[in-house]
Amino acid sequence: MRVLFISDLHLEEERPDITRALLRFLDQQATGCDALYILGDFFEVWIGDDAQAPFQRDIAAKLKALSASGCKLYLMHGNRDFMLGKRFCQQAGATLLKDPTVIPLNGQPVLLTHGDLLCSDDVGYQKLRRILRNPITLWILRHLPLAKRQQLARKLRNQSKNSTQMKAAEIMDVNNRTVSEYLERYACNTLIHGHTHRPAQHQHNVDGHTAERWVLGDWDKALWFIEANEQGLTLQQQPL
């Protein structure tokens, strides 16, 4: 058994180094694995499946080839690409997961999430998240003219960048109590997430026992992934 987890690639044409790293990862690490989980923010921005350029279609084709080789492929929304839809998943041969999701791994339940839900101290962001993820809001966004969606995406990205610079680092990290609540709610001793761009392994006390939280890194300066096999989990880093 060999399962891989990645997150926060933030793919865009302006960063060909990250795209090259992904293609190398798919050819070298992911080939022959049982499953690959992409836990959100795969793309830097996604304004709708109907807005794909050759860049996005080429990425989908690479994923489709991996899926066709026998590797099960799973996608989860991030805060940057929460409008990824069924059309892209079909193109990529991927299954879209809810956030959060529990999967079996080595006979134990493991909780997967993008990670932004765990940052509960950022009250303003959580409120905006609930608004944007509302099915009515999503329907309206998907039916806006393409130019309007592009304009809105630029505005949200600029607001996010400015907001990030102003917020304290602790607010943008996970809340430990929220982490424990999710682990207890879903009866899991292991949690894997991204979003915070702070790759590490943490331990939490949950209802009197120790649970593990594994954090994936973003692909800005290095390539990060988690590998799961019969021996357990390992967090790995490679140069882009």
164 annotated as belonging to a binding site for a ligand: yes
122 annotated as belonging to a binding site for a ligand: yes
Q: How far is 70 from 176, CA to CA, in rounded Å?
A: 37
Nearest to 214 by CA among 231, 189, 188, 191: 191
Contact criterion met (CB below 8 Å) for 21 and 240:
yes
167 annotated as belonging to a binding site for a ligand: yes
Farthest-apart Cα atoms in the chain, separation: 53
Q: How far is 107 from 145, CA to CA, in rounded Å?
A: 47
Q: How far apart are the first and last CA of the chain?
A: 26
Contact criterion met (CB below 8 Å) for 111 and 190:
yes
Nearest to 2 by CA among 68, 72, 62: 72
Residue 142 burial (10 A CB sphere; 0-12, 13-18, 19+): middle
For helices 54-68 and 16-25, angle between their N-to-C axes, nearest 10 degrees: 10
The radius of gyration of the chain from alpha carbons, rounded to an integer in Å, stands at 17
80 annotated as belonging to a binding site for a ligand: yes
Nearest to 75 by CA among 54, 98, 59, 105: 98
77 annotated as belonging to a binding site for a ligand: no
158 annotated as belonging to a binding site for a ligand: no
Can you tell me which residue has the tokens 């180094």?
17
149 annotated as belonging to a binding site for a ligand: no
Instruction: Work out the number of other CB atoms within 10 angstroms of the CB of residue 71.
Output: 21
Binding-site residues for substrate sit at: 79-80, 122, 160, 164, 167, 195
Binding-site residues sit at: 8, 10, 41, 79-80, 114, 122, 160, 164, 167, 195, 197
Binding-site residues for Mn(2+) sit at: 8, 10, 41, 79, 114, 195, 197
